[in-house]
Amino acid sequence: MYQAKEQRYDNMIYRNLGKSGLKVSAISLGLWHNFGNTTPLTNQKEILFDAFDHGITYFDLANNYGPEPGSAEENFGKILHEDLAPYRDEMVISSKAGYTMWPGPYGDWGSKKYLTASIDQSLKRTGLDYFDIFYHHRPDPNTPIEETAQALDLLVRQGKALYIGISNYQAEQTQEIAEIFEDLGTPFIVHQPRYNMFDRWIEDGLTDVLAEKEVGAVVFSPLAQGRLTDRYLNGIPKDSRANRSDSPFLDVQRVEETITIANQLNEIAKKRDQSLAQMALAWNLRQPTVSSVIVGASRTQQLEDNIKALDNLEFSDEELKQFDTILDGVEFK
């Protein structure tokens, strides 16, 4: 039976999500590709236990995470109830809904019917009584934003979620739904956008909205699918994910166009006594509205290396100027 380390909280940093009283670990664990049915459960346990032993308390799921969709929630639920149940109240567990989960007009997007059915399915798969945070995964162009907001508010009032978040919303959409949540009295505390050195779109208005509304950000893809690590500094390894045809977010062309810039950034990382990945994570956390960065991991050493980013979160003005010069005009998704 797993027993957590007593010193697990000694070195982690915890930050409030916006103006709420909920603190999350500055590094959080995303349970996406490496927690589906293609990864042995023993590997998943090893990573989850190591994360918790190092003070990571925020674990991020979605109804479609796998593969297959739903399997990440099922696997996490199994591990939680077999090994982590005594620590449930020390964990922030989130899930999301907004992408396709079943056939027909009610298995996608952001209608009240879809969101209500989705959270019930997710709670059943995980075996949880409630989620600490439940997100709408993406805005729905065909459902009134008021309906989506009211549905999320209802989930809180039903006791199925403690807090509400959104993901992938643009600045204007975030402003609109935030004002609806204010009128409803909904505990809307977090936005989950993509953000990294190659993709700084949130700085063009969204961070201003989050600051104004006192909403925190938990960012995903902080390492640009591995392009901000040492994995591709010297080219594209044959066994890398970029060389696989089944990777929709990473390919040879996307890597090749960022190698030169990544090497320039790596020179700054060396002077900071950090890896490129550690510096990239620290750079994300420099943003005042960012409470946590979500990392993925296929092995414990990778996770522990990422956590070491917290050893040096300070940047000099000169370093920030160098970043701006290197990244001027850069936008790689």
User: Is residue 151 a part of any domain in this protein?
Assistant: yes
Q: How confident is the model at residue 329 (pLDDT cuts 50, 70, 90)?
A: confident
Closest CA to 175 of 207, 223, 152: 207
Give the whole-number percent of the chain exceeding pLDDT 70. 95
Residue 220 belongs to a domain: yes
- Percent of the chain's residues with pLDDT above 90: 89
Residue 259 lies in a domain: no
Which two tokens mark 36?
A: 């589906």
In a domain, 319, yes or no: no
pLDDT at 232: 86
pTM for this structure?
0.95
* Mean pLDDT calculated for residue range 203-222: 98
Domain for residue 23, yes or no? Answer: yes
Q: Tell me, what amino acid is at 217?
A: A
> How much is the pLDDT for 150?
98
Check residue 333 and give its pLDDT.
72
64: CATH: 3.20.20.100
Query: Does the residue 255 lie in any domain?
Result: no
- 88 occurs within a structural domain: yes
Whole-number pLDDT of residue 257: 84
Q: What pLDDT is stored for residue 241 in this prediction?
A: 64
Question: Residue 240: is its pLDDT beyond 70?
Answer: no
At 216, which helix (H) or strand (E)? strand 216-219
d(CA 301, CA 279): 17
Tell me which residue range forms the domain holding 98.
Answer: 14-227+279-311
C-beta of residue 113 within 8 angstroms of C-beta of residue 106: yes
pLDDT score at 105: 96
DSSP state of 84: I
- For 21-61, list the strands marked E by DSSP: 23-25, 27-30, 58-60
Task: Indicate whether 30 pLDDT > 60.
Answer: yes
Alpha carbon distance 330, 258 (integer Å)? 9
Does the pLDDT value for residue 20 go beyond 60? yes
DSSP state letters, 104-132: STTSSTT-HHHHHHHHHHHHHHHT-S-EE
Q: Residue 166 corresponds to which amino acid? A: I
Query: How many Cβ atoms from other residues are within 10 Å of residue 286's Cβ?
Result: 13
Structural domain tally of the chain? Answer: 1
Is position 179 within any domain?
yes
Q: Which residues neighbour 153 within 8 Å (Cβ) at sequence distance 6 or greater?
A: 164, 181, 184, 185, 186
pLDDT of residue 67 exceeding 70, the answer is: yes
